[in-house]
């Protein structure tokens, strides 16, 4: 009971800190790369601050779920948390913004401001989360599983995931969910007409979007491996944690009003990315479980001092 109460207060405190760090990061990022991103959106109304707090509360809850099931401690946990948070929430999302910027008309300076501010926020939050959850001073022993992988089979799995499975999940979710909204079709194609999936896929191959998603697929696999390798428990638990991280950190910013997307477009993308990202996380965890079944796994019990070396 005491543990649950303590964790509830930790979640509340970190949610507030993330909100503060988010604002600080944006101000500093915008100071380095001046743009119009700090200007209030027309549809923000009086709920902009509340939505930011809600977004931070959701993200914090998911990150804490990972932290409480992580085998990483101390500065290693800080580093892993930073890479996961920044990678999913800012780096991967802004890659897409750059690709689709002909339709979004987002200021390039604003993209760099968001990426820079996101790096600042992610680092500050990673330190705060590690400290407030007691992971700088915990003296327990930890089990570390070292997976000795064979390069050739690993490359086959990565190729399958990045070249086929990820693009399939991405494009099917985009077509079956987001593309069903006329506002989304109008924004990205200039017309509200509904083309067939095959015709759209031909355009995606010609435009280079398919190749771009293969590159993103490789990066997703790297983020997934980092997350799964630093998480204890069954691969089902790891899949749920990874899926929630991808889903919430990658999609929750769509809750925030912005002048570049209408609320309809944002909600369409929110449903699309949240659902497909969670499914993608489960697929990644299952794939790693399948792959590591035939690999040699060596378990060691280490003290924290040895673990942090």
**The pLDDT of residue 179 is above 90:** yes
Domain that holds residue 38: 2-307
Q: Does 143 or 251 have the greater pLDDT score?
A: 251
Question: Which secondary-structure segment (H or E) carries 298?
Answer: strand 296-302
| Structure confidence at residue 299 (pLDDT) | 37
Q: Worst-scoring range by mean pLDDT, 38-42, 126-130, 235-239?
A: 38-42
Which tens digit of pLDDT belongs to each residue from 66-81?
999 999 999 999 999 9
pLDDT of residue 271: 96
pLDDT mean over 49-78: 95
Which is more confident, 104 or 141?
104
Helix axes 263-292, 235-244, angle to 10 degrees: 160
In Å, how far are 6, 53, 88, 158, 287 from 217, measured between CA atoms? 38, 30, 12, 9, 14
Into how many domains does the chain fold? 1
């Amino acid at each position: 009971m005491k543990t649950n109460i303590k964790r509830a207060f930790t979640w509340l405190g970190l949610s507030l800190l993330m909100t503060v760090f988010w604002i600080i990061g944006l101000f500093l990022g915008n100071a380095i790369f001046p743009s119009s991103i700090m200007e209030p959106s027309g549809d923000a109304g009086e709920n902009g601050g509340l939505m930011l707090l809600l977004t931070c509360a959701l993200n914090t809850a998911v990150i804490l779920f990972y932290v409480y099931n992580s085998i990483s401690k101390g500065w290693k946990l800080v580093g892993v948390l930073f890479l996961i948070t920044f990678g999913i929430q800012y780096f991967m999302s802004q890659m897409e913004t750059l690709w689709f910027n002909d339709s979004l008309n987002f200021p390039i300076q604003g993209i760099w401001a968001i990426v820079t501010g996101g790096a600042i926020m992610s680092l500050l939050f990673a330190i705060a989360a590690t400290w407030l959850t007691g992971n700088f001073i915990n003296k327990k022993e930890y089990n570390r599983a070292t997976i000795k992988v064979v390069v050739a089979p690993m490359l086959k799995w990565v190729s399958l995931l990045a070249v086929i499975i990820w693009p399939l999940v991405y494009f099917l979710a985009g077509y079956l969910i987001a593309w069903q909204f006329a506002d989304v079709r109008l924004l990205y194609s200039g017309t509200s007409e509904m083309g067939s999936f095959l015709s759209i896929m031909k355009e995606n191959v010609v435009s280079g979007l398919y190749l771009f998603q293969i590159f993103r697929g490789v990066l997703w696999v790297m983020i997934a491996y980092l997350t799964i390798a630093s998480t204890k428990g069954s691969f089902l638990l790891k899949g749920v944690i990874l899926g929630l991280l991808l889903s919430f950190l990658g999609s929750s910013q769509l809750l925030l009003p912005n002048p570049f997307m209408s609320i309809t477009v944002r909600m369409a993308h929110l449903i699309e990315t949240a659902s497909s990202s969670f499914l993608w996380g489960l697929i990644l965890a299952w794939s790693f479980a399948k792959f590591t079944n035939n690999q040699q796994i060596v378990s060691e019990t280490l003290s924290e001092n040895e673990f942090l070396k």
